[in-house]
Amino acid sequence: MTVKNEALLPLFADVKALLEPYAKRLTVRRDDPGYYDLWSEKDVIVAGRARKEVSFAGLVIQKGHVGFYFMPLYADQDLSTVFGADLLETLKGKSCFHLKQLTPGLKDQIAAALASGWRLYEERGWV
């Protein structure tokens, strides 16, 4: 895979380090320069439908940002109420955050979001 913007590799690596602890109980489907994603490969019920897997989070280097895809938001939109202002400012869709830098505050907010999403997945039996 060709990285769209190599200047974003350090940012990508910093955010990936926040996701890596969750890889112990999830499946890393893809781990390439500029692309990383985590899945729960378990029979689950999502929105009343049986599934064999559910995505947790992913990262993709885009042209001008690192896309942080946080799938617990699809499971519970109210989860966004725990996000800090810095993280909410980067939300550019239902579950995609466009990261251009990683301040200490934003790093803490991403870590807190991941912990909240993990708790949600545990409560639902998805991990």
Mean pLDDT to the nearest integer, 115-120:
95
How far is C-alpha 66 from the chain's CA centre?
Answer: 11
pLDDT digits (tens, 9 = 90+) for 72-104: 998 888 888 888 999 999 999 889 999 999 999
Class of the domain covering 6-123: alpha beta
d(CA 61, CA 118): 23
Range 28-57 average pLDDT = 92
Domain range summary for the chain, segments of one domain joined by +: 6-123
Which tokens sit at 48?
């009343």
Chain mean pLDDT for the chain: 93
